[in-house]
Chains A and B, each alone.
Chain A
Amino acid sequence: MGLLNTKGQLQIQETILTVFIFIVLIMFGLIFFYRVQSASIVDDFNDFQKEKASIDFITLGDLPEFSCSAGGIKGNCIDAVKLLVFMKLNATKSFRDHYISTFGYANITFYQVYPKLETNKNRCTPNKPSDCGVWQVYLYQPKKITSKLIKDTPVSLYFPEKDTYIIGNLVVEGYNV
């Protein structure tokens, strides 16, 4: 009887051990799967955020703050006068605070590319609106830059006082995106 009891107990212990090892293996598998899947989802989310930011950057010209319009109908261009007005207003705190919440950490600059100007490195300001080719409309940099996303796109710049169009390059640098 004693020997039979010992043998039965041994078999029960073997079964328990087998089930235990099996469960441990399954647990390891699940934890591994969870971790890899989480990392993959985080990567996909970051990629999506960057793609979204890129599209937002190159469609900045469609904002009513910059786009040209005639008779209330939006045109397919950027009003150069609006850029100067935006630069002027950006010096005020309430205006600046509003756009910090909209654009975040970024550098938004327009460069004239066609027709080419010899003096196109001169910055345009509300006080110096002509003989220049660079409009830096917004700059807000973080103290520590951990990442930078730079996107550029051709845009049409309209000068209402001369009724002329030039081609510009809108360059947006997004910080810590």
Chain B
Amino acid sequence: MFKKGQVEMIGLVIVVILVALGLLLYVKLVIFRSETVKVDTAYEHAYVTNLMGALFNVKLCDQTVKVEEALVSCFKREQVCEQDGCTYTSHEIKSIIASLGVKKYQNYSLEIKKGSESKLLLNGCKTGILTSTTIRTQDQEHYTASFRVCK
């Protein structure tokens, strides 16, 4: 039979062991937690929206046709600068993006939609950061252009 003092000592040891285990667990979970890679989506989205806006405003064909107007021409299968609208526009967009030297993103996708019909100009990304805008033409037609970037 244990003496009463011994029982108390065992109780104390158990308490100390439990507290020590709790502290160790806390240290492991809180202090040495693995740093999760945080992606600031709001910042990335704002960046891509700015990039798309800057790109769509550029005027092609000796400063006569905006990129967004050329996209609409591509959708309508019309010519831009006396060339096939889609081929010319996608080539110009690639060339502009290359000259900007954006290092964060290497690939791009660009699609223009109206109702259920859509036209894909660039197809470099399946996933990534997506932004879109509405293009309104002079004859009050509305198109949705979606721009996606990825690494």
Contact = CB atoms under 8 A, between A and B. Distances in A.
A136 interface: no
Interface in A1-24: 11, 14-15, 18, 21-22
A153 interface: yes
* Size category of the binding interface on chain A: 35 or more
A76 interface: yes
A25 B53 CA distance: 60
Interface string A20-44: 0110011001001100110010000
A11 B134 CA distance: 83
Interface string B11-44: 1100110010011001000110000001010110
A77 B57 contact: yes
B121 to A, nearest CB: 18
Contacts of B5: 11, 14
* Size category of the binding interface on chain B: 35 or more
A115 B57 CA distance: 13
Given A29-B19, A114-B96, A154-B102, A58 B47 contact: yes
A51 B43 contact: yes
B101 A113 contact: yes
Given A51-B43, A76-B53, A167 B58 contact: yes
24 contacts: A15-B8, A18-B8, A22-B15, A25-B19, A33-B26, A37-B30, A40-B30, A51-B42, A58-B46, A76-B57, A77-B53, A113-B101, A114-B58, A154-B51, A154-B54, A154-B55, A154-B102, A155-B53, A155-B54, A156-B54, A156-B58, A158-B57, A165-B66, A167-B54
Interface of A: 11, 14-15, 18, 21-22, 25-26, 29, 32-33, 36-37, 40, 47, 51, 54-55, 58-59, 61, 76-77, 113-116, 153-156, 158, 164-168
Interface of B: 4-5, 8, 11-12, 15-16, 19, 22-23, 26, 30-31, 38, 40, 42-43, 46-47, 50-51, 53-59, 63, 66, 96, 99-102, 133
